[in-house]
Amino acid sequence: MTPAGATPGDAPVRRRALLSVTDKTGIEAFGRGLADRDFELLSTGGTARALREAGLEVTDVADVTGFPEMMDGRLKTLHPAVHGGLLALRDVEGHRDAMEQHGIGAIDVVAVNLYAFRETVARPGVTDADAIENIDIGGPSMIRSAAKNHRFVWVVTDPTDYDAVLSGLDAERDEGGGEQSTSARRALATKAFLTTAAYDAAIGNWFSARQGGLPEVLVREGGHGSELRYGENPKQRAAFYRVPGAPGASIAAAEQLNGKALSYNNIMDADAALELVREFDEPAVAVIKHTNPCGCGTAGDLATAFRRAWSGDPQSAFGGIVAVNRPVDIPLAETIAQPDTFLEVIVAPSFEDGAVEVLTSRVKWGKNVRLLACGDLGAPAGDDLVVRQVTSGYLLQQRDDGFDDEQREVVTERQPSRAERADLEFAWRVCKHVKSNAIVLVKEGTVVGVGAGQMSRVDSAHMAARKAGDRARGSVMASDAFFPFRDSIDEAAGVGVRAVIQPGGSIRDKESVAAANLHDMAMVFTGARHFRH
């Protein structure tokens, strides 16, 4: 078979590669590898300069097109001499005739990666003008032309593929083409189209955010995916896609310092844990199991906060996921690293010197625990939109952020004490992160009982009370939505709950308030609910 860049029936001609990259990682070695295989190198701007500095001979694209770069580099590769060389079907006589008539030479390899738009818009204080100037036009055009014509053109958008392309060119030369070469070019074309699609999604979403409101067309980018061992269950395939350039602390951007690869369920739980501790200004620790908090505590130091969080439900916490909102120090590491404690993942902004050694060497499970350093939690993470998939469709909503727009109204005869007010606010923040119907019992800055995901609110109240046991006496209760009946208030009073925080808004609010007054309980309305389905 004929190699991808050759013209059937013609004498071999020197092949050409066009290299124009923003990320110059590995480009000199790739250019040298192409030159060693007798490719003529075409290039522009900074890429041409880098190749020449590496001692390689380079032809400027301007010499091919007959036009200089102009308009501050906006116009350089958008020309028939470039796109004709990429798009021409080498086995179609009419295409070959057009190339010969207009002096268009074939381009057989294209290496392009795009302007750093995502990184630009992630910078604090970036102007609209700077963002727009970093929208690449020529790059996506060349990538799409080459990918469309992948039967003849190698298109590479990722520096990690350079070596594979060189090996593919060698195989193509030695074997005279063939199905293996065609398959390799098709795989690169697939990656190229997904790359430009994700790039356009980032631009479109930026423009949508600037317009305000929800976008008319939903386009989301997922970045490069890494395959996981399996999904929620072993029979399900799964992968993790990280949005490139996304700002703020996140599991996607975290650096793994120790342990086995993250599983699908690890990622879900770690994300839930991180989002919970992000709610608190004081040192906080959350323990998550199946995306629900089974423990959460705050204190003046992380070690005390961890003891409080673990005490909430030690049975459920065993084998759970922990997140903290401060760097892990040695006292916290020593508190965690106990034989009767077992954790799958620990997420923190960072780990102080010596803390990693304590966590990974003091206990048997330390060699496997995943340690994730996610960065400063002070910066907001990602955008403010949340996407959920349903069969044949997607739901989009704003993230349930903050409590600043809520009101606090005491609706009972008894006012909550200062200590109860503090616990009510703590319980309210935790309750937001519990699956509905959600009930949370808190005592002295410690979650002592959680009822999650039940079909009736009173069942959640029963569950939280059972988990709390004797610790329910003197606790406070948070409910993510209003009480449709007074039965949950009676249940709470029966186990010793002294104060309640809830949104209010039920047609039977008066009955719930009357029940609280009957039991000498304090009740606070917030005017806002926090369903989490």
Beta-carbon contacts of 456 under 8 Å, excluding residues fewer than 6 positions away, are 437
- The CA angle 362-230-254, to the nearest 5 degrees, is 50
Residue 20: φ, ψ to 5°: -150, 100
Q: Which two tokens stand for residue 533?
A: 């389905």
Classify residue 405 by its DSSP letter: T
- The active-site residue out of 148, 191, 224, 519 is 148
- Is the separation of the CB atoms in 215 and 205 below 8 Å? yes
What is the CB-side half-sphere exposure of residue 316 using CA atoms within 13 A?
Answer: 22
Tell me which residue of 82, 150, 77, 158 sits closest to 114, measured CA to CA. Answer: 158
Local structure of residue 228 (DSSP, 8 states) = -
Cis omega (within 30 of 0) for bond into 437: yes
Structure tokens at 268: 């879900």
> What's the CA gap between 134 and 118, in Å, rounded?
9
- Distance of CA 210 to CAs 44, 121, 125, 358, Å? 32, 11, 14, 47
Helix or strand or coil: residue 86? Answer: helix
Chain CA centroid to CA 452, Å: 26
Annotated catalytic, 148? Answer: yes
Output the DSSP codes for 407-454: --EE-SSSPPPHHHHHHHHHHHHHHTTSPSS-EEEEETTEEEEEE-S-
Between CA 43 and CA 20 the distance in angstroms is 6
- 3 state DSSP class of 289: strand
DSSP per residue over 50-76, as a string?
HHHHTT---EEHHHHHS---BTTTTBS
Task: Note if 290 is an active site residue.
Answer: yes
Tell me if 383 sits within 8 A of 252, measured CB to CB.
no
CA quadruple 137, 138, 142, 143: dihedral sign: negative
Cα 480 to Cα 27: distance, rounded to the nearest angstrom: 54
Asked whether the CA dihedral 428, 433, 437, 441 is positive or negative, the reply is: negative
Catalytic residue from among 24, 95, 191, 290: 290
For 213-276, what is the HEC assignment? CCCCCCCCCCCCEEECCCCCCCCCCCEEECCCCCCCCCCCCCEEEECCCCCHHHHHHHHHHHHH
Q: What is the DSSP letter of 328?
A: B
What spatial distance separates the first Cα and last Cα of the chain, rounded to whole Å? 57
Element (H, E) at 42: strand 40-43
DSSP state of 12: P
- The catalytic residue positions are 148, 290
